[in-house]
Amino acid sequence: MIFRFALCAAITIASASITLADSDSPVSVRESASSFVLDNGIVTATIEKKSGNLQSLIFNGKELLATGPNAAPGRWYYTPQTQYPTEARVTIDPSGNSGQRAEVEVAGIYSQTADPGTGAPSSFVKPTIRYSLGRGDKGIYTYELLAIHESVSATFPPFNGSYVLRLDHQLLDHLTAGKNISRDMPSMQEWLAGKPTNIPEARAIQTGRDQGQVECKYDYDVRPIDAPAFGWTDTKDQIGIWVINPSTEYICNPLRVVSTGWIADQSGVPILANFWGVQNMAGDELGLYQGPRSALSDDVDWSKVIGPFLIYCNSGSFDDALAQQKTEASQWPYSWVQMKGYLPREKRWTITGQIALEDPKQTIQWGGGFNATPGQWAAAANPPPANQGLKNLLVGLTTPAPDGWEWDDWQSDVGSGEQSPFVNYQYWARSDDGVHFSIPNVPPGTYTLHAIADGVLGEMTIQNLKIDPPSGQADAQSSFDLGKKVWKPLRLGPELFQIGTPDRTGDKFWHGGDYRHWGLYTLYPNEFPRDVNFTAESSDEAKNWNYQQPLGTTWTIHFAVGYVPPPPQQQVQTPMPGYSMVTQNTVTGGRPGRAGGMPSNSAFSVGMGNSNSAPAGSFYPPSHLWIAFANNAGMQFAGQSRLAVAVNGTAAETTQADFHPDNSGPPPTSYDDKSVARDGTQGIWSAEVFTFPSEVLHGGDNIVTLRAVTPSGGPANQPHGGIIYDSLRMDLGNYPGLGPFIVQPSNADP
C-alpha cells in the first residue's frame, strides 16, 4: 500500500486580488432572539446566543463554514451548554465608537457531571466567549475566559482546549500547515469511500487523484511556535480561511506538537483547529486537576484568557497570512480587549538578556593526540569559540513549580493545589543570533527561565527569577535586562561517543526527515529484520538508526575501546557528588526542580545504585550512558524504566524521576504521548542516565544493548508504541581529583 506522497511546497497565489465588498463600512451589530450578526462590509459573522458557536462566516459573499442541522461550524471545546442558563450581551457597541468596533459575549456553564437529584452541575467550567469585529478587518477575532468552579471531591474530565471550525467541503480543498506542509486534499466523497485503517483518523483513499494513498489527520501536526498561520484555501476561487495567533503566551507549551487541520472522521468535512491545551502529544496523565477543590468559590477561583486570535479571510495567499500575523503580533496585546486577567501593554515588559554556553566537553582521543603521552588517551577540552551562537536557541519564562512539587514541568504545565494543567501562561522567544534574546509582553512576577538549543543536551534553568522593575517605569517601550546568563551543561566524564545531535526530535534518524506518512511504524520488520545493529564509529545514523524503536525489540550499539590494563590494587571508595542534570545556575531559595523531564539538584545523584558513593568493589569511577528521549512511550511502567540497558552484558542502573508531589506515590503506570501512532517524531522530551561499572569495558569491540520493555500492565506490544530517541551519549568515568583511568590504543594490545 502506498502511504502518502511527499508534501508539496505551500502554495502562493501570485498577484491574487479579490474585490472586497466595502472595506470602509462601519461595523454594525444586529440582534435577534437567537443570535448576533456582526458585519463590516467585508465579513459577516453570525453567533448563536445560547452556545457561543459561530454559525456563519461570510467573506466576499461566500459562506466559508459548514451548513446544515447540528453543524456547529465554529465552536470552543468548552462552550455554554443549553441545559444551563446563559447570558448574551453586546460588550462593545459600535454606535458608541462611530462604527469602529463591535464585540459580543456569551457566558454560561460547561459540565460533564451533575447532581442525580437536582441535575445541577457539580463539577464545571464557566466559559465566557467573545467575538470582535473591527472596521476594515478581514476576519473575526474570538477569545474565551475560562473559570473553574468545583465542589468538594469533584473531578473534571480530561482537558482538550481548542477552537474548531467545520468548513464548507465544496469550497475549500487545500490545507496549509507550514511552508513545506501543504497539499490538495481528498474530497468528502473520496474520504467517506476510503478504507478504514488501525486508527479512525486515517483512511486509505480508494478513488480519485489520491487513490492508493492514506490520508491521516496527524500529518499536519506542527509546533505552535513554528506555525504563525495555517488554514484552508479554495485554489479555484481564490478564497482562504486561516488561524492566526498573535501570541503563543496562552498556548500551553507552544513547543508541543498539535493538530492544525484535517478531514473529519465521520462527516468528511474540512476541519481547522486552534489547540491551546491538548492531550495529544502530551500524555494521558494530563487533565484538569483531579480531586477536591474546596478553596474555590465564586470570588476565589482559577481563570485564564485564551486569545484573542484571528480567524482571517483572504485570497488564499499563505504569504499574505504570514504578513498579517506579523501585523497582529505587533499590536499584541490588543488595546480594545477589556477582560479580567488580560493585561494591557502598559503593564508588561520586554525581557532581554544573553545566553553564553560554557560546555566542559571532553572527547576521547586514542593514541598521542592533543599532547598526550603516547600509548595513553587524552581527555581534550573542546571549549566553543568566543561569542559562538547557539543553534535554534529558544528562551522562555514559565510559572514556577507550585508548593509541594519537585519540578517545574513546563512541557505539560502541571500544577497542584490551586493550580491545574494548562492554567499558566508561557512566554517564549527564539534568538536571532543564538546569543541575545528578547521576550516581549511579559507581566511582572516570579518565573522560571528556560533555555534550550540544538546540540546541547538538556536545558538551562534559573528558578525563582523575579521580574520586578521599579514602579512607575512601565510603558509601551519598557524593557528589563537580565544580563548575561552562563549555561554550563553537565558532563560526567570525557565523551566516548554520541549518536544523534540533541534537538528534542528524532528527525536526524531514518525516516525522520520525511515522517509525515501514516504507518511508517509498520515498515520496521522489513527494513530492520535483525533489528538495529549500529557501530558508533562508522554507521550512518540517518540510514542505520530507525526513527523509533518498537516495544519488545532489542537494539545493539558497538563501540571501540583501546586496551584497558589490569585495574589498580586499591579500590575507589571516594564519595561522589550529587550532580545537577539541568544546570549549575539554579537560584538559591527555590525548591529543587524537574525541568523539561530531567531531575535536578540534590534530588538526583549519579552513582551506581543511585547511591552517593562509588559501589563497593569498584576500581574505577563509574561510566554513564545518557539517553534523551524525544517522546514518552509509556515513560515508566509500575516504577520500571521503559528501557533495559546493558553494557557488555552488565545491566546499567537508571536514575528515575518521580512524577508525584512530595514523592507521595509511585510513577504512573502509563504515560504515553502517542507520538509514534500519530505520525510524529517528537512528543514530551525527557532523559535518563544509565550508570555502569567502568571495569566492564575492555579493549576492542564493546556492546550496548537497548531493550524496549513491555512489562505487565503496560501498553500492548504494538508497532506504534515505540521509543523515539533524541540522542545517546557515553561519558567515561572521570571523577575529579582521581584522574581518568589509562586506556591504551587497541593496536597496543599484548
Distance set, CA 340 to CA 11, 304, 333, 418, 533 (Å): 40, 9, 14, 18, 58
- How much is the average pLDDT of 332-360? 93
Residue 201: pLDDT over 60: yes
CA distance 314 to 311: 10
HEC letters along 11-78:
CCCCCCCCCCCCCCCCCEEEECCCEEEEECCCEEEEEECCCCCEEEEEECCEECECCCCCCCCEEECC
- How much is the average pLDDT of 276-302? 44
Cell of 88: 448574551
Phi-psi label, residue 330: left if phi above 0, alpha if psi -120 to 50, beta otherwise:
alpha
Residue 299: pLDDT over 50: no
Q: Which domains does the chain have, with CATH numbers?
A: 28-331 (2.70.98.10), 350-487 (no CATH)
CA distance 404 to 407: 9
Residue 155: name the closest of 32, 270, 293 by CA.
Answer: 293
Highest mean pLDDT among 201-215, 296-310, 617-631: 201-215
The predicted pLDDT at position 78 comes to: 84
The predicted pLDDT at position 615 comes to: 41
Burial of 43: CB neighbours in 10 Å, binned 0-12, 13-18, 19+: buried
In sign, the C-alpha dihedral spanning 712, 714, 720, 722 is negative
**Range scoring the smallest mean pLDDT among 426-440, 478-492, 521-535:** 478-492
pTM of the model: 0.84
- Whether the CB-CB separation of 681 and 506 falls below 8 Å is answered with yes
Residue-wise pLDDT for 401-449, tens only, equals: 666 555 567 887 644 333 344 568 999 999 999 999 999 999 998 899 9
Residue-wise pLDDT for 612-653, tens only, equals: 334 444 456 789 999 999 987 644 444 455 789 999 999 998
How sure is the predictor about 719, in pLDDT bands with cuts at 50, 70 and 90?
low
Highest mean pLDDT among 590-594, 618-622, 735-739: 618-622
Residue 525: pLDDT over 70: yes
Q: How far is CA 387 from the centre of its chain?
A: 29
In b/e form, how buried is each residue of 76-103, taking b as 16+ CB within 10 angstroms?
bbbbbbeebebebebebebeeeebebbb
**Percent of all residues in the chain with a pLDDT value above 90, rounded to a whole number:** 48
The predicted pLDDT at position 567 comes to: 52
The predicted pLDDT at position 374 comes to: 31
Averaged confidence pLDDT in the chain: 77
CA distance 52 to 79: 7
Residue 571: pLDDT over 80: no
Residue 208: pLDDT over 60: yes
Q: What is the DSSP letter of 473?
A: -
Residue 292: pLDDT over 60: no
- Whether the CB-CB separation of 81 and 108 falls below 8 Å is answered with yes
The predicted pLDDT at position 120 comes to: 61
